[in-house]
């Protein structure tokens, strides 16, 4: 009988559904979007491998400007070499820097279309970004010490500049400066909708000479031998760097240490507040929708007073009538909820299309969504259903 | 034989804007099983009010009502609903069918409230409609049926839980004479099968189908007599 009534009041039922759908839609789409971002950011963050941490002058994620960081000394090449000397525990200390100032890379008449990332580093840098040499060789200590004009190129650069040739030993130009290709890295594919293979990479010393002036600050990646030695390594490196940078005892570090966990945490607290925001929005939307449901159910009860009277006259108990109207309101709410969930997931996943990361379905939120719809159906449907159940049969049958 | 229905000084008063309307004003009636009773009286005399009270739809302002020896005012909602559902079949002047449901569905509803299993329900509802001659109108909605057909659906619905008492409040009031005769035949048939029939009417000819005629006036019983010349609607 629920279905008879719903079918007979298509327009009204549709409008009611819409309210619920919008409420559920808002929360599901935001949650899906966040899940999508989370999964892609997690995979993005994992570029920096386990047991590693990063030392920089400024924090990796920074909200607004802060004078505290502005007055800090840069991390220069000398400090980096000293740290490499002094720190005994790390299995890898690798300094590097990056520029966006190189617009094109050319080889003979060929040019890259998209500006590649150009960075300086050493033999360890590839390891810190989880990449391997596919052909040729890695950078060596010698390359760094002698500031050799050599470079390693990513698969995208190979595709454009050397479609039919072996790149090894060829000379390419970055802003008119010659570099000899000594290695090619394995293709990594995309993350966050961006190719990870569009780069040129050279000794950090060469990089600084060619592309940087006096003012630069290196990022140093440190890897400990194992997770057991991680905190010990961290302590040693911090101590060494404080000594090198002459930080007086008792004062705080004038550099930042970023671990994988910290990055996740910072991101987590950021998405956390978005979640709370989306959640409050949808709570409000659902309350409004709930009031809508209540209103429409009251109208529905009024419209069917005669029917209720007839039903009672032929044997319906209060419970039967109560149940009839509650089922109707819960059913309406759930249909609305399911529509909201479907569209919400679709909308949330549009982000995954844009960001070119795998789509996700937040099963947990979908379930919460449908459950909360049922609760709204019961909560806001109770009063109208109670009114219906307590109608007087004779009065109701007289009602026109 | 013990009384099936026993009304003792039943009153039903309404307060309409400060004015007291005495729809029923001290009714004493006892009804035994398998009586066929007509209730007559002018418009506004309280016939429908009396029917509603007998049918456990309405509660008297004063007086006691015993149904099968039990005091009705001591029963709770579930018990009253159960009496309406299983013991009494109500037929109204205005049919009172569910407008959006098919004939079959309308007849099925009392069986839902008596927790009859689905398959059985459909079977009983169908044969009940066939017994009133509507086997070919199962899937018609009320507005697709004639008045006489609607009233027969209402009777099929009243009979579906095999109640012992049929309450019919002017069942032929909205029908042409031919349809009216058909309805009277069905009621007479039920009477011969042992049911108790209580029929409200203001037409003398219709009232003569009963073996006892009660006349009320202004909420009081004016006459209560046996009808020797009962018309047998065959
Ligand atoms: N809900 C009500 N509120 C106030 N007065 C009512 C109500 N129901 C019935 N009455 C009054 O009670 C009296 C009896 O009404 P009832 O419907 O029983 O008459 P009836 O004999 O069935 O008349 P009819 O032949 O026209 O159907 C009438 O005067 C009516 O106005
Ligand atoms: Mg009447």
Mean pLDDT of chain A: 83
Report the Cα A139 to chain-centroid distance in Å: 33
Asked if A318's CB is within 8 angstroms of B77's CB, the reply is yes
Are A107 and A249 found together in one domain?
yes
Beta strand segments in A213-328, E = 219-223, 256-259
Q: How far apart are CA A312 and CA A163, in angstroms?
A: 83
Q: What is the CATH number of the domain that holds B158?
A: 3.40.50.300
3-state class (DSSP) for residue A201? strand
Q: Is B46 in the pocket of ligand 1 (CB under 6 A)?
A: yes
Are A121 and A196 found together in one domain?
yes
Are A233 and A301 found together in one domain?
no
Q: Among the three residues A191, A225, A258, which one is the final residue of a domain in this structure?
A: A258
Please name the residue whose Cα sits nearest to atom 22 of ligand 1: B48
Q: Is the pLDDT confidence value at B5 over 80? A: yes
Number of Cβ pairs < 8 A linking chain A and chain B:
63
Q: Among the three residues A195, A227, A258, which one is the final residue of a domain in this structure?
A: A258
Is residue B106 in some structural domain? yes
Asked if A310's CB is within 8 angstroms of B114's CB, the reply is no
Q: Is the pLDDT confidence value at A314 over 80? A: yes
Are A220 and A289 found together in one domain?
no
Predicted confidence at residue A48, as pLDDT, reads 57
DSSP character at residue A53? E
Contacts of A117 (CB under 8 A, 6+ apart): A98, A100, A198, A199, A200
Picking from A5, A314, A320, the nearest residue to B90 by CB comes out as A314
> What string of DSSP letters covers A340-391?
HHHHHHHHHHHHHHHTT------HHHHHHHHHHHHHHHHHHHHHHHHHHHT-
Q: Tens digits of per-residue pLDDT, A147-191?
A: 999 999 998 889 888 888 899 999 998 888 899 999 999 887 776
Query: Residue A324: its chain B contacts at CB < 8 A?
Result: none
Closest ligand 1 atom to Cα of B202: 25
Picking from A8, A320, A393, the nearest residue to B100 by CB comes out as A8
Are A100 and A145 found together in one domain?
yes
Ligand 1 pocket: which of A397, A398, A399, A400 to mutate (most atoms <8 Å of CB)? Answer: A398
Query: Residue B96: its chain A contacts at CB < 8 A?
Result: 306, 309-310, 313, 397
Are A144 and A189 found together in one domain?
yes
Pairing of strands A117-121, A199-203: parallel
Are A213 and A129 found together in one domain?
yes
Q: Is B57 in the pocket of ligand 1 (CB under 6 A)?
A: no
Is residue B91 in some structural domain? yes
Residue of chain B whose alpha carbon sits nearest to that of A1: B101
Domain that holds residue B176: 34-59+81-226
Instruction: Tokens 């009286």: give the residue.
Output: B41
Asked if A397's CB is within 8 angstroms of B105's CB, the reply is no
* A316: confidence class by pLDDT, cuts 50, 70, 90: very high
Q: Tell me the mean pLDDT in the region B136-156.
A: 94
Q: Is the pLDDT confidence value at A355 over 80? A: no
- Higher-confidence residue: B195 or A52? B195
Are A29 and A103 found together in one domain?
no
Are A77 and A193 found together in one domain?
yes
Q: Is the pLDDT confidence value at A49 over 80? A: no
Q: Is the pLDDT confidence value at A244 over 60? A: yes
Are A219 and A181 found together in one domain?
yes
Say yes or no: ipTM exceeds 0.90.
Answer: yes
Asked if A1's CB is within 8 angstroms of B109's CB, the reply is yes
Is residue B214 in some structural domain? yes
For residue B85, the CA-to-ligand 1 centroid distance in Å is 24
Is residue B187 in some structural domain? yes
- Number of separate domains in chain B: 1
Our CA angle for B96, B101, B105, nearest 5°, is: 95
Q: How far apart are CA A239 and CA A249, in angstroms?
A: 10
- Higher-confidence residue: A206 or A63? A206
Domain that holds residue A210: 52-258
Q: How far apart are CA A42 and CA A35, in angstroms?
A: 10
Instruction: Tokens 């003398």: give the residue.
Output: B204
Asked if B78's CB is within 8 angstroms of A307's CB, the reply is no
**Residue B220 — φ and ψ, nearest 5°?**
-125, 155
3-state class (DSSP) for residue A324? helix
Are A29 and A58 found together in one domain?
no
* A253: confidence class by pLDDT, cuts 50, 70, 90: confident
Asked if A5's CB is within 8 angstroms of B113's CB, the reply is no
Is residue B200 in some structural domain? yes
Q: Among the three residues A225, A258, A291, which one is the final residue of a domain in this structure?
A: A258
Is residue B198 in some structural domain? yes
- Number of separate domains in chain A: 2
How many CB atoms sit inside 10 A of residue A3's CB?
10
Q: How far apart are CA A179 and CA A184, in angstroms?
A: 14
Q: How far apart are CA A133 and CA A304, in angstroms?
A: 77
Please give, rounded to a whole number of angstroms, the shortest distance from the CA of B229 to a CA of chain A: 33
For residue B8, the CA-to-ligand 1 centroid distance in Å is 20
Q: Is the pLDDT confidence value at A58 over 70? A: yes
Predicted confidence at residue B84, as pLDDT, reads 96
Are A90 and A14 found together in one domain?
no
3-state helix, strand, coil split of chain A in percent (to 5) is 55, 15, 30
* A269: confidence class by pLDDT, cuts 50, 70, 90: confident
Q: Is the pLDDT confidence value at A5 over 80? A: no
Q: Is the pLDDT confidence value at A357 over 70? A: no
**Tokens standing for residue A196:** 């990870």
């Amino acid at each position: 009988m629920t279905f008879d009534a719903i079918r007979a009041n298509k327009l009204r039922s549709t409008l009611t559904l819409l309210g619920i759908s919008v409420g559920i839609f808002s929360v599901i789409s935001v949650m899906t979007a966040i899940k999508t971002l989370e999964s892609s950011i997690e995979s993005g963050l994992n570029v920096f491998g386990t047991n590693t941490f990063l030392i920089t002058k400024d924090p990796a994620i920074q909200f607004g400007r802060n004078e505290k960081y502005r007055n800090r000394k840069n991390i220069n090449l000398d400090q980096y070499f000293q740290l490499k000397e002094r720190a005994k525990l790390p299995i890898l200390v690798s300094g590097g820097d990056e520029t966006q100032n190189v617009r094109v890379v050319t080889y003979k008449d060929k040019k890259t279309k998209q500006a590649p990332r150009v960075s300086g580093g050493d033999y360890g840098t590839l390891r810190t970004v989880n990449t391997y040499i596919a052909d040729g060789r890695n950078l060596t200590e010698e390359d760094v010490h002698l500031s050799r004009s050599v470079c390693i190129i990513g698969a995208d650069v190979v595709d454009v500049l050397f479609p039919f040739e072996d790149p090894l030993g060829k000379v390419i130009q970055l802003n008119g400066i010659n570099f000899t290709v000594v290695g090619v890295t394995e293709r990594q594919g995309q993350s966050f909708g961006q190719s990870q293979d569009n780069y040129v990479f050279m000794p950090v010393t060469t990089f600084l000479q060619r592309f940087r002036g006096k003012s630069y600050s290196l990022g140093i990646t440190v890897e400990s031998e194992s997770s057991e030695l991680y905190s010990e390594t961290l302590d040693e490196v911090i101590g060494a760097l404080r000594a090198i940078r002459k930080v007086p005892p008792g004062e705080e570090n004038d550099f930042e240490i970023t671990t994988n966990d910290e990055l996740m945490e910072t991101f987590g607290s950021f998405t956390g507040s978005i979640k709370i925001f989306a959640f409050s929005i949808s709570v409000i939307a659902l309350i409004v929708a709930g009031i809508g449901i209540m209103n429409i159910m009251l109208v529905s009860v009024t419209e069917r007073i005669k029917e209720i009277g007839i039903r009672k006259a032929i044997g319906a108990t209060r419970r039967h009538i109560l149940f009839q109207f509650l089922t109707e309101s819960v059913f309406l709410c759930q249909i609305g909820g399911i529509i909201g969930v479907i569209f919400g997931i679709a909308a949330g996943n549009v982000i995954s299309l844009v960001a070119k990361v795998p789509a996700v379905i937040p099963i947990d939120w979908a379930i919460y969504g449908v459950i909360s719809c049922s609760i709204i159906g019961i909560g806001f449907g109770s009063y109208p259903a109670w009114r219906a159940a307590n109608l007087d049969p004779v009065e109701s049958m007289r009602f026109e | 034989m013990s009384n099936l229905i026993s009304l003792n000084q039943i009153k039903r008063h309404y307060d309409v804007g400060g004015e007291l309307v005495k729809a029923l004003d001290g009714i004493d009636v006892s009804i035994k099983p398998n009586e066929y009773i007509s209730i007559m009286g002018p418009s506004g005399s309280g016939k429908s009010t009396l029917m509603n009270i007998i049918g456990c739809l309405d509660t008297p302002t004063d007086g006691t009502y015993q149904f099968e020896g039990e005091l009705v005012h001591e029963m709770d909602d579930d018990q009253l609903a159960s009496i309406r559902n299983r013991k009494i079949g109500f037929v109204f002047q205005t049919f009172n069918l569910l407008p959006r449901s098919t004939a079959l569905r309308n007849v099925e509803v009392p069986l839902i409230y008596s927790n009859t299993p689905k398959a059985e329900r459909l079977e009983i509802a169908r044969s009940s409609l066939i017994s009133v001659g509507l086997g070919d109108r199962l899937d018609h909605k009320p507005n697709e049926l004639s008045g006489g057909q609607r009233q027969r659906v209402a009777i099929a619905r009243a009979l579906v839980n095999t109640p012992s008492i049929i309450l019919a409040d002017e069942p032929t009031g909205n029908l042409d004479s031919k349809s009216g005769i058909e309805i009277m035949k069905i009621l007479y048939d039920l009477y011969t099968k042992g049911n108790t029939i209580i029929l409200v009417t203001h037409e003398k000819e219709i009232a003569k189908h009963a073996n006892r005629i009660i006349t009320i006036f202004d909420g009081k019983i004016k006459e209560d007599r046996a009808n020797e010349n009962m018309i047998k609607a065959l």
